[in-house]
Amino acid sequence: MIFSSLFFIFIFLPVTLLLYYLVPWKLKNFVLLIMSLIFYAWGEPVYILLMMFSIVFNYVSALQMDAYGKARRKRERRTSFVVTIVVNIAMLGVFKYYGFFVNNLNSLFGSSLKAANIALPIGISFYTFQAMSYIIDVYWGNVAVQRNLIDFGAYITMFPQLIAGPIVRYKDIARQLKHRTLSFAGISDGVSWFIRGLAKKVLLANNIGMLYDSVFAIASADRAALTTWLGIIAYTFQIYFDFSGYSDMAIGLGKMLGFEFVKNFDYPYTSRSATEFWRRWHISLGTWFREYVYIPLGGNRVGVPKHIFNILVVWLLTGLWHGASWAFVLWGLFWAVLLLLEKYIYGRFLEKAPSVIGHLYTIFAFIFGWLIFTSSSVKGFSNDLSSMFGGLQNGFADATTWYFFTSNLILLILCGFCSTPAVWRVFRNNARSRHPALRILSALSYLVILAACIASLVNASYNPFLYFRF
C-alpha cells in the first residue's frame, strides 16, 4: 500500500485514525501495531514473517543483554550484542545482497553458481536499521530496554515510516512511545505536512518523472547531449520530490498520531557544498551512519589516513545500503571523494568564494551523482556520460530536445522554485498570519492542492515511490 493511493487516503487512513482516536491511550500502540501490520501485509504477505522475526528477535535480544548487564556478565553481554548485530546484518545480506554476491563470485572466478531468485522485502533496509539503532543504544546504555513487546513492535512497524523512512532512531522516539499528546493543532499541522508531501509526489515528482522516462526511453546513442542533460535534471527533481514528499507525508502522519519524527530533508538543492548537501539530504540515514559507524571508527579525531579510511568506509556502506549494485558503490565513493576534497583541498576556497560558485559546483555535483545513481549498471552510466559530454554524434541539441524543453519549461521552473524554502515560507506565513483572510486563503490553498492531487490520482496508473527499492 502506498500513501499516494486513493485506497490509502480514503479508506485505510480514515479507518486507522478513527480507531486510533477512539481507543483509550493504553490501546493506541496496539492499534498502531495491528494497522501497521495490515499496511505492510497488503504488499508483502509473505515477508511480514521476516519483519515479525526482526521484532521478536531484537526485543528478546535486548532483554537478554539487559539481564546479562544486571548479572554483571559483561563478556556474555558483549557476545549477545555481537550475535544480534550479526544476525541483523546477515538477514539484510541474504535478502538484499545474496544475488549480487553470487554473481560477483561467478565473474571473479568464472564459476557458475546459481543464485535463487529472492524478491527484496520492502522496507527491510529501513526497519533493520531501526532495530539495530535500538540494540546499539541499549548496549551503549543510551536508552532503557523496552519491556513491552507491543510498544517495541509499534516502533519497528509504525506504518508512516515503515517502508521508506525516515529512519527513526529508538532514542528519538522512546519517550513518545509512552507519553505523547494529541491536539487539534498537531493534527492539523500533520494534515498540512501530508498534503504538501502528497503534492510533491503526485503533482511534481510524477509529472517531471515522465520527462525523465521519455528522455531515457531513447537509447543513449540516439540522444543529443542536451536531451540527456534535460533527462537527468528531470530525474534530479523527481528523486527529490518523490523521496522528500514521502518523508513529509510520513512526518505528517506521525503528527496525526501524536509523534514527532526528525526532519529528513532541508532543501538540499540550495546547498553550497557537498558537505552541506549531505547535512540536508536524507538526514536520518546520514545521522545513522555518523552515529553508529563514523564516530565509533574515530570520526575525524584521528590522523589523516585513518580519517580518509573512515570516510571511505561510511560512503561505501551508504552506497551499498541503497542497493546491491556496483553503480551504487561508485555513487557512494563519488561522494566520499568530493567530501574528502572539500575537507582537505578546496573547502576553504568554497566557503570564501561568492555563493554562486558554491551553488553551481554543488548543483553539478548532485546532478552527476544522480546520473551514477540512476544507472542500473556501470556500463549504462558510461553510455549516458558519453552522451552528455563526449559522444556528440547526435549534436548538442535537436528537435526532440526543444520539444522536451518547451513542453516542460513551466514544470521545470516550478520544480526549481519548490526546491527552495520560498514557496513553503509563503504557505507557513499565511497559515500563521494575524489576518483571518490570509489564514482562510492558506486553508483554501491546501484544499485546492489536495483536490488537484486526488484528480491526478484518479487518472494515474500505479506509480510507486523510488525509494521503495531500498
- Which residues are known catalytic residues? 322
Which lies closer to other proteins via its Cβ, residue 93 or residue 299? 93
CB of 118 to other proteins, least distance (A): 5
Pattern 50-89, other proteins, x by CB under 8 A: x--x--xx--xx-xx--xx-xx-x---------x---x--
- Give how far the C-alpha of residue 300 lies from the chain's centroid of Cα atoms, to the nearest Å: 25
Which lies closer to other proteins via its Cβ, residue 68 or residue 139? 68
What lies within 8 Å, CB to CB, of 252 at 6+ separation is: 189, 190, 191, 192, 193, 194, 195, 196, 197
CB of 412 to other proteins, least distance (A): 20
Which lies closer to other proteins via its Cβ, residue 231 or residue 268? 231
Indicate which single residue of 303, 406, 410, 462 sits in contact with other proteins (rule: CB under 8 A). 462
Whether the CB-CB separation of 274 and 254 falls below 8 Å is answered with no
The Cα–Cα gap between 243 and 285 comes to: 13
CB of 60 to other proteins, least distance (A): 5
Indicate which single residue of 74, 78, 428, 469 sits in contact with other proteins (rule: CB under 8 A). 469
Indicate which single residue of 147, 213, 421, 428 sits in contact with other proteins (rule: CB under 8 A). 213
Which lies closer to other proteins via its Cβ, residue 238 or residue 430? 238
The Cα–Cα gap between 345 and 23 comes to: 58
- Contact call for residue 217 and other proteins (CB under 8 A): yes
Pattern 317-346, other proteins, x by CB under 8 A: ------xxx---------------------
Residue linked to cell 552510466: 381
Whether the CB-CB separation of 218 and 348 falls below 8 Å is answered with no
Of 358-387, binders to other proteins (CB under 8 A) are: 376-377, 379-380, 383
Compute the CA torsion angle 65, 69, 70, 72 (nearest 10 deg): 140
273: left (phi over 0), alpha (psi -120 to 50) or beta: beta
* Type of residue at 107: S
Distance (Å) of CA 236 to CA 207, 331, 337: 13, 14, 20
Q: Is the dihedral of CA 101, 89, 338, 390 positive or negative?
A: positive
- Contact call for residue 103 and other proteins (CB under 8 A): yes
Indicate which single residue of 30, 85, 99, 456 sits in contact with other proteins (rule: CB under 8 A). 99
Closest CA to 44 of 122, 100, 135, 114: 122
CB of 401 to other proteins, least distance (A): 17
- Contact call for residue 100 and other proteins (CB under 8 A): yes
The Cα–Cα gap between 362 and 425 comes to: 23
CB of 459 to other proteins, least distance (A): 9
CB of 233 to other proteins, least distance (A): 18
Which lies closer to other proteins via its Cβ, residue 114 or residue 435? 114
What lies within 8 Å, CB to CB, of 324 at 6+ separation is: 96, 97, 99, 100, 101
Pattern 220-239, other proteins, x by CB under 8 A: x-------------------
Indicate which single residue of 187, 191, 218, 317 sits in contact with other proteins (rule: CB under 8 A). 218
Q: Is the dihedral of CA 392, 395, 396, 402 positive or negative?
A: negative
Grouping H, G, I as helix, E, B as strand and the rest as coil, residue 263 is coil
Cβ neighbourhood burial of 176 (10 Å; 0-12, 13-18, 19+): middle
* Type of residue at 57: F
The Cα–Cα gap between 11 and 234 comes to: 32
The Cα–Cα gap between 330 and 320 comes to: 9
Q: What is the DSSP letter of 39?
A: H
Grouping H, G, I as helix, E, B as strand and the rest as coil, residue 105 is helix
Which lies closer to other proteins via its Cβ, residue 100 or residue 366? 100
- Give how far the C-alpha of residue 114 lies from the chain's centroid of Cα atoms, to the nearest Å: 32
Which lies closer to other proteins via its Cβ, residue 283 or residue 388? 388
- Contact call for residue 351 and other proteins (CB under 8 A): no
CB of 255 to other proteins, least distance (A): 31
Which lies closer to other proteins via its Cβ, residue 376 or residue 420? 376
CB of 382 to other proteins, least distance (A): 11
Number of residues that bind other proteins (CB under 8 A): 48
The Cα–Cα gap between 401 and 231 comes to: 10
Pattern 106-145, other proteins, x by CB under 8 A: ------x-xxxxxxx-------------------------
Q: Which residues bind other proteins (CB under 8 A)?
A: 49-50, 53, 56-57, 60-61, 63-64, 67-68, 70-71, 73, 83, 87, 91, 94, 98-100, 103, 112, 114-120, 213, 216-220, 323-325, 376-377, 379-380, 383, 461-462, 464, 469
